[in-house]
Amino acid sequence: MSSVLEKSLAILELMVEHPEGLQVSAIARQLDMPVSGVHRQLRELARLGYVRQARDQGDYTLTLRLAALGLGFLGRSGVTDIAQPILDRLGSVSGELIRLSVLENGGLTWVAVAQGATVGLRYDPGREQGMRVHPASTAGGQALLATLSDDEILSVVGDTGLRPPGMPATSKAPSTIAELMRIIEETRQRGYSVAIDSYIEGMGAMAVAVRAGGTLDGPVIGCLSIAGPAVRFPTPRMEELAPSLFDAAAELGVAAPASHFFAGIAKG
Q: In this predicted structure, what is the pLDDT of residue 156?
A: 93
Q: Please, which residues have CB within 8 angstroms of residue 196's CB and are 6 or more apart in sequence?
A: 172, 203, 204, 205, 230, 234, 235
**Per-residue b/e over 55-94, b at no fewer than 16 CB within 10 Å?**
eeeebbebeeebeeeeeeebeebbbbebbeebbebbbebb
How many CB atoms sit inside 10 A of residue 202's CB?
A: 11
Query: What domains can be seen in the chain, in order of their start residue?
Result: 4-63 (1.10.10.10), 73-267 (3.30.450.40)
Q: In this predicted structure, what is the pLDDT of residue 120?
A: 60
Cβ 97 vs Cβ 113: under 8 Å: yes
Residue 1 vs residues 16, 164, 267: alpha-carbon distances, Å? 19, 21, 31
pTM listed for this prediction: 0.77
| Distance from C-alpha of 251 to C-alpha of 249, rounded to nearest angstrom | 5
Q: In this predicted structure, what is the pLDDT of residue 109?
A: 86
DSSP of 150-198: HHHHHHHHHHH-SS-TT--TT--S--SHHHHHHHHHHHHHHSSEEEESS
DSSP of 118-137: -SSS----GGGTTSBPPTTT
DSSP of 181-245: HHHHHHHHHHSSEEEESSSSTTEEEEEEEEEGGG-SSSPEEEEEEEEEETTT--HHHHHHHHHHH
Q: In this predicted structure, what is the pLDDT of residue 267?
A: 65
Q: In this predicted structure, what is the pLDDT of residue 258?
A: 74
Q: In this predicted structure, what is the pLDDT of residue 127?
A: 54
Q: Please, which residues have CB within 8 angstroms of residue 111's CB and are 6 or more apart in sequence?
A: 74, 79, 83, 100, 101, 102, 129, 130
SS3 (DSSP) at 143: helix
Q: Which helix (H) or strand (E) holds 99?
A: strand 97-104
Cβ 233 vs Cβ 227: under 8 Å: yes
Q: In this predicted structure, what is the pLDDT of residue 257?
A: 77
SS3 (DSSP) at 265: helix
Block means of pLDDT (10 residues each) for the chain, length 268 residues? 82 86 91 91 92 79 83 70 90 93 83 78 58 90 96 93 87 94 97 93 94 87 93 94 96 82 65
| Distance from C-alpha of 81 to C-alpha of 85, rounded to nearest angstrom | 8
Q: In this predicted structure, what is the pLDDT of residue 146?
A: 97
Q: In this predicted structure, what is the pLDDT of residue 129?
A: 60
Nearest Cα residue to 75 out of 107, 104, 49, 111? 111
